Amino acid sequence: MNPEPSFPLGIITQIRGKCIVMRGSDIDTDRIIPARFLKCVSFQALGEAVFADDRTQLKGEHPFDLSKNQNASILIVNENFGCGSSREHAPQALLRWGIRAIIGQSFAEIFYGNCLALGIPCVTTTEADILQIQNTINNDSNENWSLNLTELKLKNPYRSWDIKMNQGPLEMLISGNWDITSQLLNNDKKITDTIKKVPYLNNFIPIK
């Protein structure tokens, strides 16, 4: 697992770093984070448990255990990634491992939405491009990759690939509107002023 990373905040237009390849279609949320970890009180330790059963089975040969993939921030997957149950723990586990963007052929709808709520872009491209990107990464673990949301490009030092993202989620990320917590904090005065104007919140006395 990566060292405790800073979490996404505000406007997101570009993610830089190393890529990690996770091959296979229909990788579901139960594989991403097995059900027994859903009992956690907080999401804090989920990064250590991401793909826990798959990693145990592969005995150190899982992509998330290989030394060359440590500190990776961009995950490259195949078709229908994140299918299965709607557990928000799955993108939380990926986030806390260090993943900041996911590129694939397609994503399960609820997983996609849960990632957006955390500031993790899920972008798509063709099957042929995904296979080419995965092969390129496996042959060269160069860390100088970038996912540019304003240009809709994935780039390494040698070439680039076109990517796609629905306009609504894309605008939320590049405007920062996905980040509800930061919006609330940045508008504290407006919220306080509004509260003062709401009759049932003025001079409210809680029942003891």
Q: Is the pLDDT of residue 173 over 90?
A: yes
pLDDT value, residue 183: 60
Instruction: Tokens for 19, please give them.
Output: 């890529």
- Paired tokens of 156: 């390494």
Q: Locate 78 and state its tokens.
A: 């195949």
CA distance 134 to 205: 60
- Domain residue spans in the chain? 14-178
pLDDT in tens, 178-191: 977 666 656 667 66
* pTM for the full predicted model: 0.85
181 contacts: CB under 8 Å, gap ≥ 6: none
User: Residue 25 — φ and ψ, nearest 5°?
Assistant: -90, 160
Residue 58 identity (one-letter amino acid):
L
Q: Higher model confidence: residue 196 or residue 71? A: 71
Of the candidates 133, 30, 6, which has an alpha carbon nearest to the alpha carbon of residue 74? 133
The CATH number of 14-178 is 3.20.19.10
* Residues 11-38: tens digit of each pLDDT: 999 999 999 999 999 999 999 999 999 8
pLDDT range class, residue 43, cuts 50, 70, 90:
confident
Identify the DSSP state of 43.
Answer: S
DSSP string, 94-130: HHHHT--EEEES-B-HHHHHHHHHHT--EEE--HHHH
Report pLDDT for 160: 96
Tokens, residue 171: 């605008």
Instruction: Identify any residues that bridge with 20 across adjacent strands, giving them in sequence order.
Output: 75
pLDDT of residue 1: 53
The predicted pLDDT at position 201 comes to: 64
Q: For residue 175, what are its two tokens? A: 């405007």
Mean pLDDT of the chain: 89
